């Protein structure tokens, strides 16, 4: 049986340690990005979102409405900023709307 690193370790610290030691952060980031997109963009945009994919620091969003895709393309930088603030880290540097 392994010795505990610290008897008084907080649960959040233990989880962070587990995530980093098992290299799970990228997978968690991919899940978090989907949740944040759905929370921050609202039901009107989520309704037309058909796919969300994070590759590296690029977020690919597939939309079923070409009009909405055009509208969102004008606010690309603002969308990136909103999503990164909700994620509490600078995860996304590029947004590709398809």
pLDDT in tens, 56-98: 999 999 999 999 999 999 999 999 999 999 999 999 999 999 9
* Domain residue ranges in the chain: 32-97
Q: What is the DSSP string of the chain?
A: -PPPS-TT--HHHHHHHHHHHTT-HHHHHHHHHHHHHHHHH-HHHHTTEEEEEEETTEEEEEES-HHHHHHHHTTHHHHHHHHHHHHTS---SEEEE-
For residues 11 and 35, which has the higher predicted lDDT (pLDDT)? 35
Give the pLDDT confidence score for residue 30 in this predicted structure. Answer: 86
Looking at the predicted structure, is the pLDDT value of residue 11 above 70? yes
Give the pLDDT confidence score for residue 1 in this predicted structure. Answer: 43
In CATH, the number for domain 32-97 is 3.30.300
Mean predicted confidence (pLDDT) in 13-25: 77
Looking at the predicted structure, is the pLDDT value of residue 2 above 60? no
Task: Write down the mean pLDDT value for the chain.
Answer: 89
């Amino acid at each position: 049986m392994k010795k505990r690193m610290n008897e008084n370790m907080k649960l959040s610290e233990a989880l962070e340690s587990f995530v980093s030691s098992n290299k799970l952060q990228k997978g968690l980031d991919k899940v978090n990005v989907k949740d944040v997109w759905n929370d921050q963009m609202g039901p009107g945009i989520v309704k037309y979102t058909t796919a969300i994919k994070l590759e590296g620091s690029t977020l690919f969003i597939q939309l079923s409405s070409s009009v909405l895709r055009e509208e969102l393309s004008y606010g690309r930088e603002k969308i990136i900023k909103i999503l990164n603030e909700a994620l509490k880290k600078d995860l996304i540097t590029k947004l590709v709307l398809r």
